[in-house]
Amino acid sequence: MHGDATGWLADLESRARAVLPAPVLRYVSEGARDEVTLAEATAAWREVRLLPRVLRDVREVRLGGALLGSPTRSPLGVAPMTLQRAAHARGEVAMAEAAAVAGVPMVLSSNAGSTFADVGATGATWWLQLYMTPEREVAARLLDEAVRHGAAAVVLTVDTPVVGTRHAAPDEERVWDVADPAWVGANLPESGREPDPAGRAKAMDLAPADLGWLRERSGVPLVVKGVLRGDDAADAVQAGADGVWVSNHGGRQLDQAQATARCVGRVREAVGDRATVLVDGGVRSGLHAAVGLALGADAVLLGRPLFMALAAEGPDGVRRALGLLHDELEEAMRLAGCPDVAALRGVVDSGATGPR
């Protein structure tokens, strides 16, 4: 498979505009408040400079391995996204099928429009994204059901005690005013199926003790998503997390939060080899993924570009997007003199990674 992922993914967005209802497109694309963090995400990856190795045998380059105990073909993955059934009639099931073919994990939003059973039936490796509720047992029951249907890990989102403000023109329709109820909430209890995430209560008292409790309750690896600080990452691992996910929620929560490209290195430094490190945010090419891995991530996950691929071309579009990213990453590894993902560590010019 050959081609340029960056150009093709950019073209997908314009094609998706012809398919998606305007409120859905706006909801998926928007950031918090003045969208400062949203605007900086991709540029931050471009700021990083690499110091490639030479005189290395790169005839064979190995992208595959294991992530949280599951085999992977690439150190890539699908980030959690709601409203996928607005992009494609089969929504998360179609996305999971594409992820299964690509050999990468998919993280299923707790507000998905497809059931755990249907996603599990695709054979994909999938993890549940979970918001903690004020009454812990409500979230725990959702987790129990996900694990029963094959969730291989749980991803606890910790950067959303409340939903960040996103500005809209007064005359714009809100997505939740036009959304089909079938697009969301397929796994939530009837009493909790308020479609708008802002209308569902979230715990504002999350603490390290919650991590150990969730890990013990689920029996599967636990990832803490929404970490930008090294000290928070270390605390999460100390409390029982198997992984930390460097994320600013796609620029949708606290505006003017730092770009993830500038945070992943400090998180890796804080946790060492004691935990899996994931990163997302503004990744638009295999080269960006290579930078994320070089900075210390074990895997790089994408959201919006794959949503647009699903809208424009269905599961075939997602497969093509993941294939292009895989091929670009493989090329970058060869050019950097890295025969496997682990060898990418250390090819970053530490004096040119932006402020840390």
Query: Which value, in Å, is the radius of gyration of the alpha carbons in the chain?
Result: 19
Pairing type for strands 70-72 and 65-67 reads antiparallel
CB atoms within 10 A of CB 182: 13
Residues 6+ positions from 345 with CB-CB distance below 8 Å? 293, 294, 296
Q: Is 66 exposed, middle or buried (CB count within 10 Å of its CB: 0-12, 13-18, 19+)?
A: exposed
Bind-site residues for FMN: 109, 129, 157, 225, 247, 280-284, 303-304
Q: Which two tokens stand for residue 54?
A: 């030479």
Bind-site residues: 27, 109, 129, 131, 157, 166, 225, 247, 249, 252, 280-284, 303-304
CB atoms within 10 A of CB 355: 8
Q: Is 249 a catalytic residue?
A: yes
Bind-site residues for glyoxylate: 27, 131, 166, 249, 252
Catalytic residue among 2, 149, 249, 326: 249
CA dihedral of 174, 40, 323, 116, whole degrees rounded to 10? -40
Q: Tell me the catalytic residues.
A: 249
